[in-house]
Every structure is written in structure tokens, then in C-alpha cells.
Amino acid sequence: MQTSSAPQYSKNIKHDWFNSNDEKPVQWTMTLLLLGVVSASRILPAEVSMEELHDLWMEKHGKTYGDAGEKARRLETFAANMKYIESFNAGSQKYRLGANRFADLTNEEFRATYTGRYKQPGSPRAPSTSFKYRDFAAPESLDWRTKGAVTPVKDQQECGACWAFSAVASIESANQIKKGKLVSLSEQELVDCDVNGEDQGCSGGLMDNAFSFIIKNGGITTEANYPYKGADGTCDAGKESSSAVRISGFEDVPANSEASLLKAVANQPVSVAIDGGDYNFQLYSSGVFTGPCATDLDHAVTVVGYGIDDGVKFWLVKNSWGTSWGEKGYIRMERDVDDKQGLCGLAMQPSYPTV
């Protein structure tokens, strides 16, 4: 599948779209709001240079740079990204891009830091022989957040632990659905302690392996007891032994079947792997994401619902890049696409824990 390409970076960062007119301050302020550069309470001057715009963005996202040279390089990248965002949003796509936390990164930098850490299974998955939701009649739409079964969006930071966040999110939800109590669980326990097999902390892992580790370990502790650090660490056996939630097993959803995935998500949030490295995925802001993207699985997320928006079917997906990315940390991805693997490979390797 075709992917979107990043722009060439121009040395001329003084853009040509600040043309004077009487309505410019209002129009540009609204543009900045839509792009996510400033908050609604911010009062802007009539004219804003790209450098000033970058400073506003840095302030909003708490960004700092090591020296003037690095800031200049980031400003150049930011300017190119802003021009691409404006150009894309001028079209008629089902979704919009914005100046989110990744707006000062090239796509190559973004991919190297925030994707590529989902490890492919060492051997192909065996076809699912049992799928307990096979005959379930799913409702037209569902959002597990409205049922109190989803914890707040978390932030994996610059650590490739997406696999741990995806596994933990689906366990948190399964536990709430079964036992009625929503408990935030520890990704750091998996990062530090689940390291004897394919799972390797910030260097990547697999959700099914995480489920297996938690089963063998007699459960997983809380986020409060073993908080996230965003880096590999030494396993704290004392904290690890204080299990708060146990799972009895896990099941793989039949691969390459969005119909099967729908039935599973109708019963509980599901861990999935996707190709999350596309330029448009990096800068996604709102709406139903329709691609382009490939199916080279490099990121793990959690499907927590589904629905229809203006005739377009979508999956509601919880990410682990904080609330300043996407729709407060979520992305809606097109559902029932022509490719049986699902958009960005979403239907290729879904699985869920059993409690």
C-alpha cells in the first residue's frame, strides 16, 4: 500500500502564507487553534513569524533543545511540517493533521524513536482453533470508555514499550468488565521483569508474550506500586510479587478478519499491532484516519470500540503517546477496508486476555 512521503526541507523558513489583510489576525489565530499550536486562551499578535510560531509550540509542549544549532534544525523541520499540514488540511480528506508533539521531527526520526519496536513473532501464529465470540451478534457501535472500562491514556515516552502498554490496557479493561473495578496496572513491571524471552523492554516485545509472562508470574501489580519510568530497569522482585490482577489465559482473534475482530471488541478491548510509522499517522490530529499506510507491523495499540462517522466505519483505538497526540490520545481508524489485513495491518495479529 502506498504511504505518504515527507516534504523536502527548505532553508527558507519564513513562510509566504502570512499575507496582510484585515481579517488575518482572526483567521491565523483560528488556524493555530485548529493545528494545535496554541490554546484557546492565547492572544496572538497580528503577525507571527515561523520562529515565533515554533516558540509557541515549544511552550505548549514543554520542548527544550540543547543548543542554538539544534533549535535551528528543529525549526527547519517544524516549518516544513507546518507547510505540509496546511497543504493536507486544505484537501477533502476524512481526517486532519496538526502540530502535535511530533511536529519538530522528520518522519525518519519519528519512526526510529516511536515505532519499529513491535517484535514480530519468532514463528508464524498458528490459526485460531477456538474463538469464543464466533457466534456473537455485535451491536452497531460501542465505546468501552463510556462504560468505565478504559484507563486514561498513558505515555510510553521515548521507550519502545508499546507492546507492554497494549497488553496492560487490554488486561485493565478485561478486569473491569469481569470484576467491576478499573485498576491502572504496571507497564514498568513488564519492561523490567519480562526479559527472558522475546520481550526486551524498551527494545520491543509482543503482547501474547506479555500475557504468558503475567500468567506464569501469578498476575501483575499496579501502576501505583511499580510506576513507569520510560526506561529499562532492574526487576524489583518485591514490587513484582505484589500482584493486583490475574488473568487465566489469552486468545488470538482469527487473523485477517475484521468481522471477527468486531465480535471480539464488542465483548472487550483487544490488543492489536499496526504499521504506525506513516508521515500522516505521525501528525494525525482528528477525524477518521483512512491512510495511506503499509502493513509492516511496528507499533502496538488497543482497540476500545468502533462506530460510524458520516458514513465511514471506524475503529476507536487507544494509543500510548500521551493526550497531546490525536484525539486526546486516541485515533479513529477506518474499518472494513478492502484489504483483509485491515487498515495499517490492524486485523493481522489481534489478541485479548481472559480473566
CB 302 within 8 A of CB 270: yes
Q: Are residues 162 and 224 in the same domain?
A: yes
User: What is the predicted pLDDT for the residue at 49?
Assistant: 86
Q: Are residues 134 and 86 in the same domain?
A: no
Q: Are residues 283 and 338 in the same domain?
A: yes
Asked if pLDDT for residue 329 goes beyond 90, the answer is yes
Asked if pLDDT for residue 150 goes beyond 70, the answer is yes
Q: Are residues 71 and 119 in the same domain?
A: no
pLDDT > 90 fraction of the chain, expressed in percent and rounded: 79
Dist CA 175 CA 122 (whole Å) = 29
Q: Are residues 73 and 131 in the same domain?
A: no
Q: Are residues 82 and 119 in the same domain?
A: no
Instruction: For residue 108, tell me if it sits in a domain.
Output: no
Instruction: For residue 238, tell me if it sits in a domain.
Output: yes
Active site residue 193: no
CATH number, residue 278 = 3.90.70.10
User: What is the predicted pLDDT for the residue at 130?
Assistant: 78
Q: Are residues 326 and 249 in the same domain?
A: yes
What value does the mean pLDDT of the chain take? 88
Q: Is the dihedral of CA 34, 38, 39, 40 positive or negative?
A: negative
Q: In terms of Cα–Cα distance, which of 142, 140, 156, 97 is closest to 289? A: 97
Q: What is the arithmetic mean of pLDDT over 25-53?
A: 59
Asked if pLDDT for residue 5 goes beyond 80, the answer is no
Q: Which of 81, 175, 280, 319 is catalytic?
A: 319
The tens digit of pLDDT for each residue in 88-98 reads 999 999 999 99
Angle at 48 (CA atoms; ends 47, 50), nearest 5 degrees: 145
Instruction: For residue 106, tell me if it sits in a domain.
Output: no
Instruction: For residue 162, tell me if it sits in a domain.
Output: yes
Instruction: For residue 103, tell me if it sits in a domain.
Output: no
Q: Kindly report the backbone phi and psi dihedral angles of residue 79, in degrees, each rounded to the nearest multiple of 5, phi listed first.
A: -60, -45
Per mean pLDDT, which range of 16-25, 235-244, 337-346 is the poorest? 16-25
Q: Are residues 56 and 188 in the same domain?
A: no
Domain range spanning residue 65? 1-92
Sorted by sequence, the CB contacts under 8 Å of residue 90 that are 6+ apart come out as: none
User: What is the predicted pLDDT for the residue at 254?
Assistant: 96
Q: Are residues 188 and 142 in the same domain?
A: yes
Active site residue 319: yes
Which of 57, 92, 127 is the last residue in one of the domains?
92
Q: Which of 159, 293, 299, 344 is catalytic?
A: 299
Instruction: For residue 229, tell me if it sits in a domain.
Output: yes
Q: Which of 162, 202, 293, 344 is catalytic?
A: 162
- The model's confidence at residue 188, banded by pLDDT at 50, 70 and 90, is very high
User: What is the predicted pLDDT for the residue at 198?
Assistant: 80
Q: Are residues 178 and 271 in the same domain?
A: yes
DSSP helix, strand, coil percent of the chain (3-state; round to 5): 30, 15, 50
Number of domains in the chain: 2
Active site residue 299: yes
Q: What is the DSSP string of 117-128?
A: -BPPPSSPPPPP
- The model's confidence at residue 48, banded by pLDDT at 50, 70 and 90, is confident
